[in-house]
Amino acid sequence: MGFADPVDYIVVSFEGDYAMLRKADEPDAQLIQVAIALLPDGATDGSRVRRVMLDYTLL
């Protein structure tokens, strides 16, 4: 899987200026930390987002 391939995540929580995301298809995957500024407006706990390169869109 390359960097430009789409990956779906679930927003698990927000911690300060960062959101903690988990791969949607891997419930036991390690959380990744992403700057809130990169997420689309309206993203909340439980939101599904898709990353293509560094562009996140709300699903």
User: Which CATH number covers residue 14?
Assistant: 2.40.50
Could you list the beta-strand ranges (E) of the chain: 7-15, 18-23, 32-35, 48-52, 55-58
Residue 14 covered by a domain = yes
Residue 47 covered by a domain = yes
Residue 12 covered by a domain = yes
**Residue 8, CA atoms < 13 Å, CB-side half-sphere:** 9
Report how many domains make up the chain. 1
Token pair in block for residue 34 = 């992403």
Question: What is the value of pTM for the model shown?
Answer: 0.90
Residue 26 covered by a domain = yes
Please write the tens of the pLDDT for every residue from 1-59.
Answer: 677 899 999 999 999 999 999 999 998 999 999 999 999 999 999 999 999 998 999 99
The position carrying tokens 């200026």 is: 17
Predicted local confidence at residue 1, as pLDDT: 64
Domain that holds residue 38: 7-58
Position 25: which residue type? D
Token pair in block for residue 31 = 């959380």
Residue 2 covered by a domain = no
